[in-house]
Structure 1
Amino acid sequence: MTERTETFDKVATLIEPFNRKGVSLTEATTFAGDLEWDSLTVMDFVAAVEDDFDIIITMNMQAEIETVGQLVDAVEKLKG
Structure 2
Amino acid sequence: MREGRPCYSVTIRAEKGILKRLNVDENRIHFINREKTGLVVTKIQFETPDQASQEILSLGSDAEVIHPVALREKICKNARQLFRLYQEK
TM-score greater than 0.5 by the shorter chain: no
Which band: TM-score by shorter chain?
0.3 to 0.5
Give TM-score, length-normalised by structure 2: 0.35
Give TM-score, length-normalised by structure 1: 0.37
Structure of larger gyration radius: 2
Per chain length, whose mean CA-contact separation is higher, i.e. which structure has more relative contact order (CA < 8 Å, sep 6+)?
1
Which of the pair is proportionally richer in helix? 1
